[in-house]
Structures are given as structure tokens and as C-alpha cells.
Amino acid sequence: MGFVLGLLLGAVGALLYAPKAGDNMREELQLRADELKKRADELQRIAQKIADDVSVKGREIIEGAKKEWDSAGSGRSGGTSGGGASKSS
């Protein structure tokens, strides 16, 4: 996001210091603003798709971990034999 902001500020600065007539400058600024908006919209769509993909993958990982946990738990006996907490002195 900082890169896009820097790009915008640099473009505006270059246009303001370039010797052009007012009408030409306004037209150039409008074209650059439209181009930047299109790029920002594209980046937003890409970021949203990545976020959605990560969310789906995260749910899959959680479900897999739950299944492994449940299967490991069902393989254990109901109680502990030998009394794991007892120690000989």
C-alpha cells in the first residue's frame, strides 16, 4: 500500500513540476488518477482472493487437525493403567 501511495505522490509531483498548460495538466492528472484507480481495484481483488484462499486452507487444516485429534483420542483406553502420577520413593 505504501508503494502505491509513493507512486501516486511521485506522479503528482512530476506533473506539477512539468511545464504544461493548465488544461493539459488537468487532463494528465485525470488520466493518471483513472489508471491508479484501476490498479488499486485490481490489487484489491487480488488481495481479497488471497485472503479467501487462506481462509479456506486454514479451515481445511483445522478440520484435519480435529480429525487427527479425535482419532488419536479414540485409540486411547478409557483410563490410565499403572497410575502415571504415582512415584516410588
* The predicted structure's pLDDT at residue 45: 95
Domain ranges, ordered by start, for the chain: 2-70
CB count in 10 Å sphere of residue 43:
13
pLDDT over threshold 50, residue 3? yes
Q: What is the mean pLDDT of residues 52-73?
A: 93
pTM: 0.51
pLDDT digits (tens, 9 = 90+) for 4-55: 778 777 877 776 776 667 788 788 888 999 999 999 999 999 999 999 999 9
Distance CA 55, CA 50 (A): 9
